[in-house]
Amino acid sequence: MSAKDMFYSEDKDFSRAEKRAYAREELVYNVAEDILVALEDLNVSKKELARRLGKSRSYVTQILSGARNMTLGSFSDICFALGVKPNVTVPVDSVLGSMEAGGEIHWTMEDGAVNKDELIRKTENVFDYRDPKVWENQAA
């Protein structure tokens, strides 16, 4: 359940800026929550995470509270410090958006509309993360 669901009725109409802000906050909250769960599961304190990162305890607190912007780089650093492999997905196979002339995005669910295998084009800078050999090559 999101904050939006807790404080507003289902029929509340949000502006595009409000929808974007809620989507951003939900992502920040979910990533921070996943990191906190990992810390608990691995029995690692925020103080120990800060030491492993070479950062202050306040930095870790700010990152995990959403007060400081967590980049993909800092997320990767945190995962590395915890000894876990980060996993970020963009589920294009289940939700499709279409932009209309007014710049409004309308989301629809369509089964089989996109073949995600067709979307993966291996090049020098893009690789198929599903192939374990690719990870071995990237780590080397």
Q: What is the DSSP string of 104-139?
A: -EEEE--TTSS-HHHH----SS---TT-HHHHHHHH
Q: What is the mean pLDDT of the chain?
A: 76
The better pLDDT of the pair 116, 23 is held by 23
Q: Within a domain: residue 87?
A: no
Which has the closest alpha carbon to 77: 65, 63, 90? 63
Residue with tokens 């089964």: 111
Report residue 23's pLDDT band, with 50, 70 and 90 as the boundaries: confident
* Per-residue pLDDT at 98: 53
46 and 107 co-located in one domain: no
Label residue 114 exposed, middle or buried (CB < 10 Å: 0-12, 13-18, 19+): middle
Tokens of 81: 């410090």
Which domain does 120 fall in, by range?
96-139
This prediction's pTM: 0.60
Q: Tell me the backbone φ, ψ of residue 69, rounded to 5 degrees.
A: -65, 125
Instruction: Give tens-digit pLDDT for 65-94.
Output: 989 999 999 999 999 999 999 988 887 665
- pLDDT of 114 > 50? The answer is no
Domain count, the chain: 2
